[in-house]
Structures are given as C-alpha cells and as structure tokens.
Structure 1
Amino acid sequence: MEILAFGVQADEKPLIEKAFAGHHEVRCLDVFLTEDTAPIAAGYEIVSTSVNANLNHRVLQTLAAGGTQLIAQRSTGFNNIDLDVAERLGLTVARVSYYSPYSVAEFAWTLAMAVNRRIVRASNRTRDFDFRLDGLMGRDMRGRTAGVLGTGKIGEAFARIANGFGMRLLGWDVAENPACLDLGMTYVDKERLFAESDVISLHVPLLPATQHIIDSAALAVMKDDVILVNSSRGGLVDTDALVRELRAGRFAGVGLDVYEAEAGLFFLDKSLEVVEDDTLARLVTFPNVVVTSHQAYYTVDAVGQIIDTTVQNVLNFTAKRRDENVLVPRS
C-alpha cells in the first residue's frame, strides 16, 4: 500500500521514508492539504497531514470520494479537522497524542530569553559591526514570577526550567499537576496569574473555551513590562488586541511561534510576495516582538517520535487495532 503524505518539510522526508521502509510505500509532497490539493489524494487509502492542513468539510468530502479511509495527522493538535464531518463520511482520524514536551518547552524559553535579552537586535547590530549596548538591557529571571497557563506535560517542562532559574511559579489549569505542585507552583485563577506574572507562557490546547483566552481584558490586567510567549496555538491570542497594546508601548517582549491566521503563510516562502495580512505585517515591525514559524516542535527527537507514532497509527489501522491516538474510529 502507498501512503500519501502532505506538507512534508525537506528535513522530514528522509525520516518519514526511513520509518515507513519495510512497512508501506510513502509518497511525500511539500504542498499542504487544502481544497485545491485534495484531489491529488484520489486513490490513496491512507493520507498523512500536517498541522497546517485545512481539513474542512469540502476537503474531507473530496478525500472520502477519492477512496481515502484513514487520515493520519502528524501533530497533537487537531483543531484543523472537522471531526464531525469525518465521522459522518466514515473516515478514520488519528493523531500523535504525545511527543517530546521538552522541544516545545525549551523553545518557549528560547523565545522568552530572546526578547528579554534583545538577542535578535544585538545579532543584527553586530553583523553591521555596531557593538553598542544601548537598548539591549534585559533583566534576571531569578526571583521573578513565571505564569504557566496550562500545566500538562509541556507546561510542566516549562515550569521545571523556570524553577531552575529560581523563579516563583504560578499555574492555571482545569486540574492541578502533582509534579508542578512538587516544584512549588501555586495554582491561581487566570486574572491573578495575568496580574502577578513577569513571564507568561501559554500551553493550553485550542478549544472553543480557550479561543482568545488572551483577549483585550486579559492583556489589560498584565504588567506593562511582562514577557508573553505563545508556542501552543495562534488562536489563543487575540492578535489585533495584542497589537493595540504593543502600539501603546506595553510589554517588555512578546515571543510568538504561532499565529491565528498562519495557515497559508507559515512553512512557506513568502519572501518575494506582498503579504496581505496587515496584522502580521504590523506585528513583526515591533522591536520587542519575535515571531517564528511554528517551529517549537521541530527537533530531531520530537519529529522522530511524531513520525514513529504516525507509522504505528497506520499499522494499527491496517491491523484493525485502536488506541488513544484515534480521534474518529473506523465505521
């Protein structure tokens, strides 16, 4: 059986081909699964997708009509898939429920420290042989407060690093994590976390209840010199509201690895095009903002785990086995 994999990055292709060797043939495409590209999947029983695929009802209908039976998504998040439609069409959907939490947690801290110590500005200056320190002053993390919104595996890893810095820990989640409590974390309501934290990092999934969890009201409560980091999902932050606060001169720094309108932009080369997204264009002009292209997960360790789990999801499907990775079971 040949599997069609959409949205495969150049670094991923040899890893995917090696992982599937001896099991199934795999055809890797660098294009993302969209309404325009979905017809390519005709005749493929199994399709693998990336997190930036758009699996709306039209895409799912095209896949089902072309004979697809399994969608194996190479990510933990699945807010890009209309699961109700997939179920009605008889499509099985599987995801990667777990991969290295350290990849994302470490990158979140990379963003936090990059904006704190003005690394991008300093690097750009030294390339021009400008070695002044004006405007590059940061601050120690020790003794300050880290607010962790979402204390699952990634949030816990982020908190462990913060604990290593010697920071006070505040957390918010629907359930307390005993490991975070052992680190000395205090669980509080969102408003207190927003008001008292010097660094706030987002590690909750994107659900209807968390859409724009960082809205204008939440931003207003935060300290003027807070560092805000989002390495989870772009839709957690009301970007227009964030831009308004940045224009008012607030926040010591903002690190964003995700953006709520990233589909059709991230993972692609748009350097020779006019980007029509005015919000993103404005966002990247702020000197205290660092935007990266959804790369927090992108380590050889995490990607390897994602691919291995995807292969196992395919093998489970062909063997008619089911585990916790299956979001929509076969009908």
Structure 2
Amino acid sequence: MKVAVFSSKSYDREYLERFNNERHELVFFDATLNSHTTSLSLGYEAVCVFVNDHLDPETIKQLQENGVRLIALRCAGFNNVDIPSAEEKEIKVVRVPAYSPHAVAEHAVALILSLSRKIHKAYNRIREGNFSLEKLVGFNLFEKTVGVVGTGQIGAIFCEIMLGFGCRVLAYDPRESDALKQKGVEYCTFDELVRQADIISLNCPLTPETYHLLDKNVFDKIKKGTMIINTGRGAVIKTSDAIDALRSGKLGYLGMDVYEQEENLFFRDLSESIIPDEQILQLITFPNVLITSHQGFFTHEALEEIAATTIKNLSDFEEGRTLENEVRIKKS
C-alpha cells in the first residue's frame, strides 16, 4: 500500500523503514498535513500523521477526494482528527494506543526533579564556572501530596512511581482504578485535588471536558507555590492564566512537555528565527518554568512500539483484517 507520511523526521524514517521491511511504499514528507497540503496525498491510499497534523472536516474532505481510505496516527491522542467527518467520508482512523507509557511517566518525574532541585539552573551555572549553591535550595518529594489528573496507563505508572518516593498520591479520574486504590492511591474530586496537592500532574487527554481545565478559577484554588506538570496536551492549561499565576507567585513551578500553541513551534529548529509567539517567550523568561518540546515519548522503546504498531495497522487495513486500534465515535 502506498502511504504518505507527514510531519516526518529522521527518526520516523529510521524506525518506520526498519519495521516496514518493504511491505508498504512509504513516502516521507516534512510538511504537516492540513487543508493547504492535502495535494501531497494525491495517489496515496493512506496518510500517516502525528500530533500537530490538523485533520479538520475540510482536510478530510480533500483526502477523500484524493482517494485516501485510511488515516494512521502514529500517536495515542486523536484530538487533532475530526472523527465524525472521517466516518462520514468512510475513511478509517487507526492509532497507537500505548507506546511505552513508562517513557512519558518517567519524563514527568524528570521534570519534577529538575524543577524541585533546580538541576537545569545548576547545569547552566557549572558550564559557566559558577559552583555556588546560592539560590539553589530545593525541596524533598518525600511526604509531599501529589495530585494526578487522569489515571490511564501513563497516569497509573506515574502514581506508582510517586508512591515509591513516599508521596501521598491523590487522583481524579471518572473511572477509578481498584488496583491503584489497593496500592494506596486516594481518589477524590477534582476540586479537592487542586486544593490539597503540592504537585499536580496532568496525564489526561484533550477533550471538550478537559479543554482549559486549569484556568484562573483553578489557579485561585491551588496552594501558594504549587508545582504543575503537564505531559498530556497543551490546551488542558489556559496559558494566559498560567502566566498570570506565575507572575503573582501563586503558581510556584511549571513543567511542560506540551504547549497550547505547540503546532507552530515544536519539532522544529527555530534557533535562527524570530519566534512570534509572545506567550512562549514570556514563559521562557520565568526561572521556575521548565519546557521540553513534546519529548516525553522520545525513547528507543517507544519509537520501536510506535513503528511496529503503525505498520501493523497499515497491514491489517490492507489485508482486510479487524482493525484492533481503530478510533470510532462512541455510541451512546
């Protein structure tokens, strides 16, 4: 099957070609897929896309007109694909539901430790020959209260890691896990979580219910100096309100592997460019903010799982097998 791979980087080519073993004709494009780039899909049966490709109704309409019958996401989230439009146009959508959830959970912990012990600041100091400990005082994780929003695969692993640090772990999720409860995780309401937690980790997908879940109303409720870590989706936090909370000192630390407007920034080298995004420029100036560019998933193990599952999804579709990882509209 002929597949157009969008938003492709060197590592996408390396891992996908390794697991493809010439089963499919993969053609790689640097461009992101949106309504302005659909012409590149002409003559392909499938498109393979990532988190910042934008498949709105118009894009999907054009894909269908170009003969595309399958959208293969090489990620777990699918908020960037209009699923009803895809179903209407009889285009199947598949994804990679889990690819080393440990990688993302461990990255969230890395952000916490870097911020709590000011490792990023110490690293820069040492490179400049400054071995002073002034203003590098951190805090212990032991016995801190950690609030976890979303206890799916990633959130569950994160809970277990924080329990290992000796933290009290609170969790909020519409579907509670009995297994996590047995390990000591305490489920509570979202309001109780944000009021009690010293650290809040966002491990939830982006849905209409979680869009701007953390806004001014929530920042007003958190304890002064609270740390917030987001490895879920950028728009779960209302960025402008987070900046205001940082300025006031209510928000003590912010660690982000995702960003509300990341599609115009992340996965690109903009070191020689003028960045037009005022909010990201403001965030970078705060000494208590640590931003990574959506690299939580970025391990050898995860890349292998993404590639293997993506190729399997493509082969299952081509050979008429059941699509185990198909995304469908939930029927009420």
Please give the alpha-carbon distance, in whole angstroms, between the structure 2 residues aligned to 1:129 and 1:34. 47
CA–CA distance in 2 between the matches of 1:149 and 1:255? Answer: 15
Per-residue CA deviation, residues 105-134 of structure 1 (Å, 9 max, x unaligned), is 000011111111111111111111011111
Q: Is the 8 Å Cα contact of residues 46 and 69 (structure 1) preserved in structure 2?
A: yes
Q: Which residue of 1 aligns with 2:81?
A: 81
Match of 1:205 in 2: 205
The 1-side partners of 2:249 and 2:218 are apart by 16
Residues 47-80 of structure 1, C-alpha deviation per residue, up to 9 Å, x if partnerless?
A: 1001110111222122111111111010110000
Please tell me whether the aligned partners of residues 99 and 306 of structure 2 are also in contact (alpha carbons under 8 angstroms): yes
Q: CA deviation at 1:37?
A: 2.1
Match of residue 170 from structure 2? 170
Contact conserved, 1:118 with 1:136, CA < 8 A, in 2? yes
Asked whether the 8 Å contact 2:222–2:250 carries over to 1, the reply is no
Q: Give the equivalent residue in structure 2 for 1:107.
A: 107
Match of 2:95 in 1: 95
TM-superposed CA distance for 1:165, in Å, is 0.4
Out of 162-171 and 16-25, give the one that drifted further: 16-25
Q: Take 1:285 and 1:81, find their aligned partners in 2: how far apart are those partners?
A: 33
> How far apart, in 2, do the equivalents of 1:208 and 1:218 lie?
17
- SS of the residue corresponding to residue 157 of structure 1 reads helix
Match of 1:5 in 2: 5
Partner of 2:25: 25
| TM score, norm. by length of structure 2 | 0.96
Residue identity in the other structure for 1:212 = H
**Structure 2 match to 1:69:** 69
5+ residue gaps, structure 2: none
Question: Could you tell me which residue of structure 2 aligns to residue 248 of structure 1?
Answer: 248
Structure 2 equivalent of residue 194 of structure 1: 194
State the superposition RMSD in angstroms. 1.3
Aligned residues: percent identity?
Answer: 36
> Does the 8 Å contact 1:6/1:28 carry over to 2?
yes
Local SS of the residue matching 1:326: coil
Partner of 2:180: 180
CA separation in 2, counterparts of 1:35 and 1:22?
A: 29
Number of positions where the alignment pairs a residue of Structure 1 with one of Structure 2? 329
1:300 aligned partner, one-letter code? H
More divergent stretch after superposition (220-229 vs 246-255): 246-255
Helix, strand or coil for the counterpart of 1:39? helix
**Cross-structure match for 1:294:** 294
> Secondary structure of the residue that 1:156 maps to in structure 2?
helix
- Tell me if the contact between 1:156 and 1:179 (Cα under 8 Å) persists in the aligned partners: no
Separation (CA, whole Å) in 2 of partners of 1:117 and 1:93: 43
What is the SS of the residue equivalent to 1:284? helix
Deviations 1:134-178, CA, capped at 9 Å, x for gaps: 111110101111111111111111011101101111011001112
1:259-278 Cα deviation digits (max 9, x unpaired)? 11111211111222221111
- Paired with 2:264 and 2:304, the residues of 1 have a C-alpha distance of 25
Counterpart code for 2:151: T
Deviation of 1:30 after TM superposition, in Å, equals 2.4
Show CA shifts across 1:9-68 (max 9, x none): 212211111111141121122222123322111100111001110111222122111111
TM-score (norm 1): 0.96
1:137 aligns with 2:137: yes
Alignment-derived partner of residue 230 in structure 1 = 230
Superposition deviation, residue 95 in structure 1? 0.9
* Partners of 1:81 and 1:22 in 2: CA distance: 28
Aligned partners of 1:26, 1:320: CA distance in 2, in Å? Answer: 19
- List runs of 5+ in structure 1 lacking aligned partners: none
Please show how residues 301-312 of structure 1 align to structure 2 within 5 Å.
301-312=301-312
Kindly state the Cα deviation for residue 197 of structure 1 after the two structures are TM-superposed.
0.9
Deviates more, 1:145-154 or 1:317-326: 317-326
Give SS of 2:170's match. strand
Offset at 1:328? 4.4
1:21 partner letter: N
